[in-house]
């Protein structure tokens, strides 16, 4: 059984992960409108991963005597001037999610909730990958975004990202 503090934090995290999916759905739409369909695809895969994260937290709650309480999902910002702004927003958002995961981890540690700590280990590692991916996109944009031919090739490469189910199974 999870205590009330952990239950509340995980319920909030379900909402934040669905917000992440919604945020990136907006990004995917923005890139689609701009004609950068590879970037749109990349973010569309990200949407599916974020939904998976939300479902993993939900399932973890259910498996441990907790009751999911669904909250309103905030409307994300959808107006941007240029692609780099979305890439920067991705980096900022992932850093924020990392802080959220670390906060839950820290509370689990204080509460001696070792099961939740073990569950969160996967997410701690996952956030490292998310931040790296976001950083790589910014670097590559700065290298190739200014030249139409290079940008075409970069965008084309991003069409190949495919969704794979998370390695964490509950
Ligand atoms: Mg996530």
106-131 pLDDT per residue, tens: 999 999 999 999 999 999 999 999 99
Nearest CA-CA partner of 119 in 67, 47, 63, 68 = 63
Contact 156, 42 (CB under 8 A): no
Tell the burial category of 167 from Cβ atoms under 10 Å away from its Cβ (0-12, 13-18, 19+). exposed
pLDDT score of 170? 86
Centroid of ligand 1 to alpha carbon of 21 (angstroms): 8
What does pLDDT average to over the chain? 97
| 133: phi then psi, degrees, rounded to nearest 5 | -60, -45
Please state, as a whole number, how many other Cβ atoms lie within 10 Å of the Cβ of residue 104. 22
If you measure from the C-alpha of residue 147 to the centroid of ligand 1, how many angstroms do you get, rounded to a whole number?
A: 32
Q: How many other C-beta atoms lie within 10 A of the C-beta of residue 127?
A: 20
42 alpha carbon – ligand 1 mean position (Å): 15
Residue 132: its pLDDT value, please? 98
pLDDT tens profile 119-167: 999 999 999 999 999 999 999 999 999 999 999 999 999 999 999 999 8
Q: 46 C-alpha vs ligand 1 centroid, how far in Å?
A: 9
């Amino acid at each position: 059984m999870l205590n009330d503090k952990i239950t509340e934090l995980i319920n909030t995290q379900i909402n934040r992960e669905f917000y992440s999916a919604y945020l990136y759905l907006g990004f995917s739409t923005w890139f689609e409108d701009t004609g950068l369909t590879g970037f749109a695809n990349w973010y569309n895969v990200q949407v599916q991963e974020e939904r998976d994260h939300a479902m993993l937290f939900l399932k973890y709650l259910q498996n441990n005597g907790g009751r999911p309480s669904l909250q309103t999902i905030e409307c994300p910002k959808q107006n941007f001037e240029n692609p780099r702004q979305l890439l920067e927003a991705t980096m900022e958002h992932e850093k924020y999610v990392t802080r959220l995961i670390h906060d839950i981890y820290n509370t689990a540690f204080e509460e001696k909730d070792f099961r939740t700590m073990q569950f969160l280990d996967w997410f701690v590692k996952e956030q490292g990958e998310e931040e790296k991916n976001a950083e790589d996109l910014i670097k590559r944009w700065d290298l190739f975004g200014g030249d139409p031919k290079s940008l075409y090739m970069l965008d084309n490469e991003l069409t190949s990202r495919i969704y794979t189910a998370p390695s964490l199974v509950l």
